[in-house]
Amino acid sequence: MSVAKRIIPCLDVDKGRVVKGVNFLNIRDAGDPVEIAKRYDKEGADEITMLDITASHETRDTTYKTVESIASQVFMPLTVGGGVRTIEDIKKLLRSGADKVSINTSAVENPDFVKEAADKFGSQCIVVAVDAKSSNIDEESWEVVTYGGRNRTGIDVLEWTQQITEYGAGEILLTSMDRDGTKAGFDNSLVSKVSSGISIPVIASGGVGNLDHLIDGIKIGGAEAVLAASIFHFSEFSIKEAKEAMRASGINIRF
């Protein structure tokens, strides 16, 4: 047996509170990030990802405090993303206790930033978040979008993920913006194309509405890890139930 497939609950944090919107709009309050992280830790989550969705200068200190507070109480890998633009931002997040940092828009605007970050801190802590939307060309092609999906870049997702792998990214957090918040399941065709094209792990994200979707992300999409937010926050399912369902389907899961 090789490395276990991971299940990663994601905390979308706005001004120090966990929120979750549908297609990044219509935001609902889901509670205190530290308390929620502790609950996921107890339930057996394999990692936690926290995305600072406001990511403004005014709220940045709150983010560092939240990271510090989670990292000192929960002994599991913590990835933090949202508004990471400079080497200094990465350094501060790692010092606050993040294990990995997720870079999104600033990687698209300046791919060399990925290279510089991986050289400085090591690939193991550089996650590149790729937000993908079906392109208008055909069903089997996707383009990279930024600013929460509002901006189409025209960059082909498969080419982009290969490029950032070469630049030293350690992992890809791949979100389908067509599926995010819809509860219709991952875009497994996208996940599978990206995952088979690169050597680094891919985390599937966007669209989970039930436990079968998590299983499909691994079995059909070929993802190394699956990320979900709302199905866990509002206690529709516990992490434990998700892991039991995945194990029952024959997936290598840690218990």
Binding stretches for another protein (CB under 8 A): 1-6, 41, 46, 68, 71-72, 75-77, 94-99, 119-125, 170-171, 199-201, 222, 224-225, 254
Work out how close the CB of 138 gets to another protein at its nearest, in angstroms, rounded to a whole number: 27
**Active-site residue, 131 included:** yes
Work out how close the CB of 137 gets to another protein at its nearest, in angstroms, rounded to a whole number: 29
Nearer to another protein, 148 or 222 (CB): 222
Rg of the Cα trace of the chain?
17
Work out how close the CB of 159 gets to another protein at its nearest, in angstroms, rounded to a whole number: 20
Nearer to another protein, 24 or 64 (CB): 64
Nearer to another protein, 120 or 240 (CB): 120
**Active-site residue, 12 included:** yes
- Spot the catalytic one: 131, 178, 187, 216: 131
Q: Among all residues, which ones are annotated catalytic?
A: 12, 131
